[in-house]
A = this chain, B = another copy of it.
Amino acid sequence: MGASSPIGVFDSGVGGLTVLKELRRQLAGESTIYLGDEARMPYGPRPADEVIAFTRQAMRWFATRDCKLIVLACNTATAQALEAVRDESAVPIIGVVRPGAAAAIASSARRSIGVVATVGTVRSGAYVRAVRDLDPLCDVTQQACPRLVPIVESGKAGTPEALDAVREYVAPLLSEGGVVTPVVDTLLLGCTHYPLLREEFTKVAGPGVRVVDSATTTALAVREVLASHRLLADGATPTHRVFATGPVERFSEVARTIFGEKLPEVEAAALT
């Protein structure tokens, strides 16, 4: 394991590709290995001990592939499993919750943030804690959106069904008892699948609400951690591989809408 080893990026499905895309743009010299646990997505509704067990399996899988750092590009896994797998890992593991919270704090002038996330992430309270750690006076309102990951994973981003679902979930964050000004001024996409519905979120949120995600600040954390370990790649010839458990065809189809032609062929993986 050294500076030319790849960065591992893990998600329950295709959502983490939004983080991978930002990592590849900001750290263009780095090799990457992506793993989507497509066979067992969504993670959002699963009990915490199951999410921890699955995440642990994924970390073991990355360990056999010589990764120098692993990104938990899944909010549900970060919220429920980061502490556990960090303690066990020989390499640094970066989650997306604290970076997401920092981005939301930077965005929110009125210190009032709405977080949309999976049931598991909302239940864990991880975002409420992370935002309050950064700014104890910041209001955080959470909204679980159980239908959105299945919508993204079935390739329905951009459809009226997606827009209706987003509207239903976001409406309560925008108005309260007939108040005209939105309750929150920042909507944090607390699930890495949701940037694939950014158009829907932006449209529903309107011009007074900023829609932010964790990709930029997560890439910042990755760069700083790699630099501190003297593990930044020299950028010679980076390689990229993408793996999915379960049906590779469906994964590839949705993934190409994110990455276009730049996505390498998706390979099959098994987690045990």
Contacts and interface: CB of A to CB of B under 8 A. Distances in A.
B103 A106 contact: yes
A224 B98 contact: yes
On chain A, which size bracket covers the interface? Answer: 20 to 34
Interface in A76-106: 86, 92-94, 98-99, 102-106
A65 interface: no
Nearest to A185: B210
A212 B212 CA distance: 15
Interface in A8-35: 26
Residue picked from A103, A109, A224, most chain B C-beta under 10 Å:
A224
Contacts of A104: 106
A3 interface: no
Contacts of A26: 133-134
Given A92-B227, A217-B217, 10 more contacts: A86-B227, A94-B228, A99-B220, A102-B102, A102-B103, A106-B216, A106-B217, A107-B107, A134-B219, A228-B228
6 contacts: A106-B107, A106-B217, A109-B210, A134-B216, A134-B220, A217-B220
